[in-house]
Amino acid sequence: MTKISIIVFSGTVDKLMPVGVLSSAAAALGYEVEIFATFWGLMAFRKDMAEKNMKISKEYEEMAEMMFKIMKEKNMPSWVDLIRQAKEIGNVKVYACAQTFDMFGMKKEDLIDIVDEVVGAGEYLERAKEADITLFI
Amino acid sequence: MTKISIIVFSGTVDKLMPVGVLSSAAAALGYEVEIFATFWGLMAFRKDMAEKNMKISKEYEEMAEMMFKIMKEKNMPSWVDLIRQAKEIGNVKVYACAQTFDMFGMKKEDLIDIVDEVVGAGEYLERAKEADITLFI
Amino acid sequence: MTKISIIVFSGTVDKLMPVGVLSSAAAALGYEVEIFATFWGLMAFRKDMAEKNMKISKEYEEMAEMMFKIMKEKNMPSWVDLIRQAKEIGNVKVYACAQTFDMFGMKKEDLIDIVDEVVGAGEYLERAKEADITLFI
């Protein structure tokens, strides 16, 4: 089975969109998908952040208003919806980084329901080594 | 045949330089090279942007002047030149992301001539899964 | 032997931490680890920068104070310490990018002692193609 493994380090919406699009396209192709959310990327999965996140990469801040307007007008699914849809049709797992949990004192119940499990960097590695495509976003 | 597959998400010159350098080094080694330009990375391939792009990562903005001065003094090839040279000597393809095209209402004629084709995330995945090296820049 | 190959392009502490954590976790698992430091990532290995680096990703600047406070309170090892520890227990190599050396006029003696060798992009590729996990951070 083809497998893609993505470390989600960044928590800006522009970088989370490719995470959603790739997960959903990979699930549609029958790939196994593993998302390992860490640092700012993990914070984006917090219940109080996920849907109201309006951050985009600082270099493109002046494009933010236009981007969010397009996404609304075109009725585009959010990155959370894309991952949720991917999970409905395929083998998609979302892991939260244990080291980030410790560092920022986070709890699993702080995160949205698409997060499956809390695992350490070692387990990420043991899973990612089997993947055909590995990315750090 | 060895293959490298690069998603170019970022559109700042400092991140486009490694795309050029890696493509050119990989082509020289006889690798197959696939570049999949998306989001801000795809915008950097616009005819009205490619050669006059002066953006660099926000964290290093204070280095921009020095960096562009060095590049000019040393007569360094631009990232566009590096990809163009790579295409001349090897099997190098540049794909534009279909989802980004839709989102921002872009057309293929808006892009510089080194872009070969517009493809979706699914096709990126089917190509990248055969690669030995996969990167998200 | 399992192998992870990481291009370290970014020089902010938040992105260097995962480099340290992954290197140290991979070394503990007996993986071969190769770090290829380039551009801002290579500058972070300068003797006059490595330990006093307080840069974090611009999008999360407002979190910097909190983050450094936590790291100090929890007595967390720095990314340099993590790589150093990884080198003590495993097969971990740190390569400096020759192209960046040329561009910014750097010398090997400017860098901290965990850097093993200066190599070009071609050698990075020839090493990375054997890796099971390839990342660009």
Domain that holds residue A80: 3-136
pLDDT digits (tens, 9 = 90+) for C78-98: 999 999 999 999 999 999 999
pLDDT of residue A25: 98
pLDDT tier at B13, thresholds 50, 70, 90: very high
| Minimal C-alpha gap between C86 and chain B (Å) | 23
Q: What is the pLDDT of residues A11-53, one digit of tens each?
A: 999 999 999 999 999 999 999 999 999 999 999 999 999 989 9
Per-residue confidence band for C104, with pLDDT thresholds at 50, 70 and 90: very high
Domain count along chain A: 1
C25, A103: Cβ pair inside 8 Å?
A: no
- In DSSP notation, chain C reads --EEEEEE---SHHHHHHHHHHHHHHHHTT-EEEEEE-HHHHHTTBTTTTTT-----GGGGGGHHHHHHHHHHTTPPPHHHHHHHHHHHSEEEEEEEHHHHHHHT--GGGB-TT--EEE-HHHHHHHHTT-SEEEE-
Q: What is the rounded average pLDDT of the residues C27-41?
A: 98
pLDDT tens, position by position, B83-93: 999 999 999 99
Shortest CA distance from A128: residue in chain C: C133
pLDDT for the residue C57: 98
For position A48, what pLDDT does the model report?
95
CATH code assigned at A83: 3.40.1260.10
pLDDT band at A5 (very low <50, low <70, confident <90, very high): very high
C44 to chain B, any CB pair closer than 8 A? The answer is no
Yes or no, beta carbons of A135 and C133 under 8 Å apart = no
Query: Residue A103 has what pLDDT?
Result: 94
pLDDT band at A107 (very low <50, low <70, confident <90, very high): very high
Q: State residue C27's pLDDT score.
A: 98
> What's the sign of the alpha-carbon dihedral A57, A61, A63, A67?
positive
Q: Write the pLDDT tens digit of every residue in C4-23.
A: 999 999 999 999 999 999 99
Mean pLDDT of B2-6: 98
Confidence band, pLDDT 50/70/90 cuts, at residue A128: very high
pLDDT digits over A59-106, tens only?
A: 999 999 999 999 999 999 999 999 999 999 999 999 999 999 999 999
Question: A9 at the C interface (CB within 8 A)?
Answer: yes
Q: Which chains are adjacent to chain C, needing at least 3 Cβ pairs under 8 Å?
A: A, B
User: Do A133 and B134 lie within an 8 Å CB cutoff?
Assistant: yes
A74 within 8 A of B99, measured Cβ to Cβ: no
Interface touch B14/C38, C-beta < 8 Å: no
- CB within 8 Å of chain C, chain B residues 76-95: 76
The mean pLDDT value for B105-119 works out to 97
Predicted confidence band of residue A117 (pLDDT cuts 50, 70, 90): very high
pLDDT at residue C3 in the model: 98
* Chain B touched by C121 (CB under 8 Å): yes
* Rounded Cα gap, residues B78 and B92, in angstroms: 17
Under the banding of pLDDT at 50, 70 and 90, the label for residue B31 is: very high
Min Cα separation B134/chain A (Å): 6
Write the secondary structure of chain B as one string of H (helix), E (strand) and C (coil): CCEEEEEECCCCHHHHHHHHHHHHHHHHCCCEEEEEECHHHHHCCECCCCCCCCCCCHHHHHHHHHHHHHHHHCCCCCHHHHHHHHHHHCEEEEEEEHHHHHHHCCCHHHECCCCCEEECHHHHHHHHCCCCEEEEC
**Predicted local confidence at residue A102, as pLDDT:** 94
Does the predicted model carry a pTM greater than 0.95?
yes
Give the confidence band of B22 by pLDDT, cuts at 50, 70, 90.
very high
Provide the pLDDT for residue C132. 98
CB contacts, 8 Å: A57 with chain B? 10, 40, 58
Distance from CA of B88 to the nearest CA of A (A): 27
User: CB C125 to CB B59 under 8 A?
Assistant: no
